[in-house]
Structure 1
Amino acid sequence: MSWTRRSADLLVAAAMVTSVAACTADSGGGGASCVAQYTYQDITYQGVGNVKFTLGKKLGVVTAPPCEDTGGLGKSEEPVTTGTAYEVDGISPKVAIAIGDTPKTARFFAVHSGSELPPEVQKLIDGS
């Protein structure tokens, strides 16, 4: 599979694995959707799909900022979404965590540097 195709598949999968409430564009058309992002201990993570991982111990609470692309609500009117962070075996929580209401529903999230994923995450995706 080509790198471009794999990247496109990852982006689509990441958009589908969000546990943040979906935000939609206004009826004026053409607006963007919110990205699945959470913050844990001042580190921001984005959803990554198609990653096989082993869940570790419970870490604590994550927060997600309110979606600001739909207009109409002020920042103080929309609550911050929260979830539970879990370790991912073999990867530092500074690189990736799993997030979900329960261990069974936890999804994989990683830090991003531009369009690059950390090597540890890419290794899991590649199955190496």
Structure 2
Amino acid sequence: MSWTRGSVGLLVAAAMTMPAVACTAGGGGGGGGDSCVNRYTYQDRSYQDVTQVDFTAGQKLGVATSPPCEDTGSKDKGEEPVTTGTAYEVDGISPEVAIAVGDTPETATLFAVYSGSEPPPEVLELTDGS
């Protein structure tokens, strides 16, 4: 009996972590069609996260929204809430190209408007060795 209870607990724990793993598989700023790429929308522009960059976040711009992950196959958009974050300017780059999103400028992550699978040249200049 205890084997069954323990097995059920492991299955429940595994099932709870599966959506998070599935949703983060495409993160890291790839530009592909992955529905779970870490992205935000600000002023009708879609931004994807950019990794390994050195940037400085500036003045607060407003609220950016992140659509729910659509990897579950559910057609009901009301099941997962849209999340929001504070959008900040990125020093030296237009908000039409890149923004930073986070609770504070110091903890914000860089997001850029992608063209295909690459971020804009202004953002590439911030990456290591590119």
Structure-2-length-normalised TM-score = 0.70
Alignment of 1:17-28 (within 5 A): 22=20, 24=22
What does 1:4-43 correspond to in 2, within 5 Å?
Answer: 22=20, 24=22, 34-43=36-45
Separation of aligned partners in 2, 1:40 and 1:86: 10
Query: Within 2, Cα distance between the matches of 1:118 and 1:72?
Result: 33
CA distance in 2, matches of 1:92, 1:117: 13
1:121 is paired with a residue whose SS is helix
Partner of 1:44: 46
State whether residues 23 and 70 of structure 1, in contact with CA within 8 Å, keep that contact through their aligned partners in structure 2: no
List runs of 5+ in structure 1 lacking aligned partners.
1-20, 26-31
Select 1:83's aligned residue among 59, 82, 85.
85
RMSD: 2.3
Moved over 6 A (4+): none
User: Aligned partners of 2:129, 2:95: CA distance in 1, in Å?
Assistant: 20
5+ residue gaps, structure 2: 1-18, 24-33
What are the within-5 Å matches in structure 2 for residues 86-101 of structure 1?
A: 86-101=88-103
Pairing 1:99-114 to 2, within 5 Å after superposition: 99-114=101-116
SS in 1 for 2:80: coil
Asked whether the equivalents of residues 36 and 71 of structure 2 are also in contact (C-alpha less than 8 Å), the reply is yes
The number of residues matched between the two structures is 102
Matched to 1:56, the amino acid is G
Could you tell me whether the CA contact under 8 Å between 2:56 and 2:91 is conserved in 1? yes
Percent of pairs with identical residues:
70
Alpha carbons 1:35, 1:46 under 8 Å: kept:
yes
Q: CA deviation at 1:22?
A: 4.0
Distance 1:66 1:23, change over 3 A: farther
The amino acid across from 1:24 in the alignment is: A
